[in-house]
Structure 1
């Protein structure tokens, strides 16, 4: 990672939630891609689940994770489109203490390189709830790869300069 210096790496506990009415554990490519990315980066996958695209089912899992002080970050994949039952942003926004607007903006800029104007259909977002970071990603494995490799992995690495999200986690900075 070229944006890093010699600060110590701090592994985070990261939970992954796939939102889908059709995917199961065996064909959850996007969820598996996120787990692989975070573990290869040195973080811990502390939990993984799949729920149907229903705002109450989504909120139940997310609420449990943000109430758990051992979960530092939640990554979700799926339900960010603009059709049918896509309702992940609506399910998660009310739970956020603060939204990180720049994440969705930057994600769409980076996605433009691969999918051009189709990136307008993405409602990817990020925020913080009860000191837990949440990243709401599209369901495509390409989108998850872009989000993890070009944005999230750097912000979840304490060595990234000039700043990163890890340095804003008071619990981790007490270690």
Structure 2
């Protein structure tokens, strides 16, 4: 795992998350990956605003993510499932066009962590991330192992204001500067 340092002199800042399982076969009761993710997020002191299941249908998933991203109460959306290569795996196709900014480093780091546990099978995931407006969006594979790797190895640290040398929480107030700049330029 990668080492992250923490400055315990800084306060913890809880964030609001929304978890979406992308599946044609799971329900909230059978979605073990989403349940695990919710448990880990809350154990680390954050709030899960809601958790839902959306079918592997591009327009339905895209509409749901757009609606959640527009909610000013939500800081982070995490999807689980639909990142593979089968015909029903459409999460990247549905979500990536919505990104105002892509986070290519997430996929790279996720695959490095994942390879430690599942070897070369990590290439079968198209995990992706980006920013929609001021909302962070992460698209994870649907397995519990992938969800655990992403949360414990990357996201837990980047969504902790105390993480050094930098983290997402400290830049959140500045995420929409590009919109302000566009208003000035027009």
Question: What is the TM-score when the length of structure 2 is the normalising length?
Answer: 0.90
- CA 1:109–1:22 in structure 2 vs 1: closer, same or farther (change >3 Å)? same
CA contact (8 A) 2:4 2:157 kept: no
1:157 is matched with 160
The equivalent position to 1:95 in structure 2, one of 94, 98, 101, is: 98
Count of equivalent residues: 172
1:119-138 CA-to-partner distances (Å, cap 9, x unmatched) read 01110011111100001000
1:43 aligned partner: 46
Aligned to 2:14: 11
How far, CA to CA, are the matches of 1:58 and 1:131 in structure 2? 19
Match of 1:104 in 2: 107
Name which of 52, 60, 64 aligns with 1:61.
64
| Secondary structure in 2 matching 1:145 | helix
Q: Secondary structure at the match of 2:163?
A: coil
Look up the SS of the partner of 1:169 in the other structure: helix
Cα RMSD of the aligned pairs, angstroms, is 1.4
Instruction: Give the Å deviation of 1:83.
Output: 1.1
User: Rg larger in 1 or in 2?
Assistant: 2
Which position in structure 1 is the counterpart of 2:184? Answer: none
Query: Is 1:123 matched up with 2:126?
Result: yes
Corresponding residue number in structure 2 for 1:83: 86
Runs (5+) with no aligned partner, structure 2: 176-186
Task: Provide TM-score, normalisation by structure 1.
Answer: 0.95
Tell me the CA shift for residue 82 of structure 1: 0.8
Structure 1 stretches of 4+ with a deviation exceeding 4 A read none
Aligned equivalents of 1:158, 1:126: Cα separation in 2:
20
Q: Which runs of 5+ in 1 are unaligned?
A: none
- What is the CA-CA distance between 1:10 and the residue it aligns to? 0.5
